[in-house]
Amino acid sequence: MATAGMTDPRPTFGAIVLAGGNARRLGGFSKGDVEINGTTMLTSVTDACQKAGVPADNIVVVGHAETELKRTVEDPPFSGPVAGIGAGLDHVDADRLFVLSCDIPFIASGLPRLIDTYQGEGVCFGGEKAQYLAGLYSSDALRNRIGLLQQEERGLIGMPVRKLMESLDVTILGEHEAARDLDTWEAVNEAREQASED
């Protein structure tokens, strides 16, 4: 139990959920608004954040998908995920930030693992390649790196997430079913069939 004059060592958590982009593989349909078993993928992700201990008022959705939570849009719109992360940072205040894409609706079971394995400046799931948009990161590290990248000639527009994250001390875990992204209609339909069977 904490005593008077002592600070609580437990970290605080926030979340930036990216729900923008052109969703070309979905024919331009908003990924966040796609439903799996009656729930939008965006809602599944934001609900997972809250179950993992992120206060609802410390979650920001970046993009145009429907949500009752805080929402912002990168400037200019559709300028990429790094610009989206930069825009989201203005609306959250925490020691550690989940940075998640909206098309990983089964992430709830993976967030506790990210919390438990956190070290250095962050941790994310992997597989064939690092899934940087299924990770938990140091807020200070993200803010510092974004600040440096904004000074480059093109700024954050069109910048790949890899360029933001590779310079950080990020632990890349193995592949995890919870981080499976549904960015094609084939993947969405498979997930819908799986959900109906469950």
For the chain, count helices (H), then strands (E).
6, 9
Give the span between the Cα atoms of 148 and 187, in whole angstroms: 36
Which residue, chain included where needed, has tokens 């998908």? 65
The verdict on whether omega for the bond into residue 76 sits within 30 degrees of 0, i.e. cis, is yes
Residue 46: partners with Cβ closer than 8 Å, 6 or more residues away: 15, 17, 59, 61, 67, 69
Q: What is the pLDDT along the chain (198 residues), one digit of tens a residue?
A: 344 444 457 899 999 999 976 555 565 667 888 888 889 999 999 999 999 999 999 999 999 888 899 999 988 888 889 999 999 999 999 999 999 999 999 999 999 999 999 999 999 999 888 999 999 999 999 999 999 998 876 788 889 999 999 999 999 999 999 999 888 888 888 888 877 666
Is residue 44 within 8 A of residue 51, CB to CB? The reply is no
Give the span between the Cα atoms of 17 and 39, in whole angstroms: 16
pTM of the model: 0.89
Give the span between the Cα atoms of 76 and 161, in whole angstroms: 17
Query: Where do the domains of the chain lie, and which CATH numbers do they carry?
Result: 13-197 (3.90.550.10)
First-to-last alpha carbon distance for the chain, in angstroms, is 41
Count of CB atoms within 10 A of residue 182's CB? Answer: 24
Give the span between the Cα atoms of 63 and 87, in whole angstroms: 10
Q: Which two tokens stand for residue 2?
A: 């904490």
Residue 85: partners with Cβ closer than 8 Å, 6 or more residues away: 16, 18, 62, 99, 142, 146, 161, 164
pLDDT value at residue 79 = 86
Give the span between the Cα atoms of 89 and 12, in whole angstroms: 15
DSSP 58: G
